[in-house]
Structure 1
Amino acid sequence: MFTGIVEELGEVASVTATSGDSALVAVRGPLVTADARHGDSIAVNGVCLTVVDVDGGTFTADVMGETLRRSALGGLRPGDPVNLERAATLGSRLGGHLVQGHVDGVGEVLSREPAAQWETVRFRLPAHLARYVVEKGSITVDGVSLTVAGVGADWFEVGLIPTTLKLTTLGVRRVGDPVNLEVDVLAKYVERLLGAAPRGEVA
Structure 2
Amino acid sequence: MFTGIVQGTAEVVAIREAEAFRTHVVILPDALRAGLETGASVAHNGVCLTVTAIEGDRVSFDLMRETLKVSNLGVLGVGDRVNVERAARFGDEIGGHAMSGHVMAMAELVELDEAPNNRRLWFEVPHGLGRFLFDKGYIGVDGISLTIGEARRADSAHGPRFCVDLIPETLKRTILVDRVPGDRVNIEIDPQTQAIVETVERVLASREP
Please state which band the TM-score falls in when normalised by the shorter chain. over 0.9
Deviation track 1:157-188 (CA, whole Å, cap 9, x = no partner) reads: 00000011111000001110110000101112
CA distance in 2, matches of 1:174, 1:195: 35
CA distance in 2, matches of 1:73, 1:194: 33
The runs of 4+ residues in structure 1 deviating greater than 4 Å are: 195-200
- Calculate percent identity across the aligned residue pairs: 39
CA distance in 2, matches of 1:152, 1:195: 20
Deviation track 1:22-57 (CA, whole Å, cap 9, x = no partner) reads: 001111111322221011000000000000111122
**Structure 2 gaps, min length 5:** 154-159
Residue 191 of structure 1 deviates from its aligned partner by: 2.9
- 1:135 is matched with 135
Residue 140 of structure 1 deviates from its aligned partner by: 0.5
Deviation track 1:84-128 (CA, whole Å, cap 9, x = no partner) reads: 000001111110001111011100111111112111111112111
Q: TM-score, normalised by structure 2?
A: 0.91
CA distance in 2, matches of 1:14, 1:83: 17
Cα 1:195–1:169, aligned 2, differ >3 Å: closer, same or farther?
A: same
CA RMSD of aligned residues (A): 1.4
- 1:57 is matched with 57
CA distance in 2, matches of 1:71, 1:167: 21
Q: Secondary structure at the match of 2:25?
A: strand
Q: Secondary structure at the match of 2:195?
A: helix
**2:201 equivalent to 1:191:** no
Q: Secondary structure at the match of 1:38?
A: coil
CA distance in 2, matches of 1:157, 1:138: 11
- 1:6 is matched with 6
Deviation track 1:55-79 (CA, whole Å, cap 9, x = no partner) reads: 1222101100111011111101011
- 2:79 is matched with 79
CA distance in 1, matches of 2:116, 2:203: 48
Q: Secondary structure at the match of 1:73?
A: helix
Structure holding more helix per residue: 2
- 1:37 is matched with 37
**Structure 1 gaps, min length 5:** none
Q: Secondary structure at the match of 1:136?
A: coil
